[in-house]
């Protein structure tokens, strides 16, 4: 190897090292910023001793779902302070996927909007049947924070896993009424 070739090789190695070092520094900076943002978000969320004081929708609810005057379902549902909603549909058997998740936002005052996608399962096999759907709520929590009322609409079944992109039957006209489930301290051991 000639001196010129060695020099060129060393120069290339130095450039590669410098660019790698710059990439690592940029990566470290991006990681630091991400951690700072996460820490800020966590500190903001934890600044309140009781999240229910922030938004009255936060908590555990028992919802009665009605069409006209006919009760069609009962649901236990939890709404968390970070916008997550989960429910346990009491009319669905365990093997058909009876716990699922949605996302809620505040619309105004004590009024909230929810969208909740779901998968449909075969009642015989308990296996996903290849379709999905979603329901939407608009609910208003009472001033005392102990009840809410609202409306539901949605779509399903939709072929495939994303119910927001496919064609399916839509429904509306469903009424919701809910009672917040509180911890009764007198029942605690």
**pLDDT tens digits along 50-104:** 544 679 999 999 999 999 999 998 999 999 999 999 998 665 555 555 678 999 9
Angle formed at CA 107 by CA 102 and CA 104, multiple of 5 degrees:
10
Task: Output the CA torsion 56→60→65→71 (10° steps).
Answer: -130
What's the half-sphere exposure (Cβ side, CA atoms, 13 Å) at 18? 6
According to the model, what pLDDT value does residue 95 have? 52
pLDDT (tens digit, 9 = 90+) per residue, 170-183? 999 999 999 999 99
Cis check: omega of the bond before 11, within 30 degrees of 0: no
Torsion-angle region of residue 109: left (phi > 0), alpha (psi -120 to 50) or beta? left
- Global pTM reads 0.69
- What is the distance between the alpha carbons of residues 141 and 177, in angstroms, rounded to a whole number? 10
Structure tokens at 73: 């379902």
What's the half-sphere exposure (Cβ side, CA atoms, 13 Å) at 12? 6
Mean pLDDT score of the chain: 78
- The residues, any chain, with a CB within 8 Å of residue 122's CB and separated by 6 or more, are 96, 128, 129
Structure tokens at 106: 């505040």
In the numeric block, the tokens 């058997």 are attached to 93
């Amino acid at each position: 190897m000639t001196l010129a070739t060695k020099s060129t090789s060393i120069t290339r190695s130095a450039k590669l090292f410098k660019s790698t070092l710059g990439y690592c520094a940029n990566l470290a900076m991006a990681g630091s910023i991400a951690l700072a943002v996460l820490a800020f978000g966590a500190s903001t969320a934890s600044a309140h001793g009781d999240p229910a004081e922030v938004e009255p929708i936060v908590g555990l609810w028992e919802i009665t779902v009605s069409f006209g005057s006919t009760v069609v379902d009962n649901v236990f549902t939890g709404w968390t302070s970070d916008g997550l909603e989960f429910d346990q549909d009491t009319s669905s058997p365990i093997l058909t996927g009876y716990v699922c998740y949605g996302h809620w936002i505040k619309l105004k005052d004590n009024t909230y909007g929810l969208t909740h996608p779901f998968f449909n399962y075969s009642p015989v096999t308990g296996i996903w049947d290849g379709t999905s759907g979603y329901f939407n709520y608009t609910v208003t929590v009472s001033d005392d924070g102990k009840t809410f009322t609202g409306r539901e609409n949605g779509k399903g079944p939709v072929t495939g896993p994303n119910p927001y992109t496919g064609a399916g039957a839509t429904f509306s006209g469903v009424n919701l009424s809910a009672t917040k489930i509180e911890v009764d301290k007198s029942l605690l051991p």
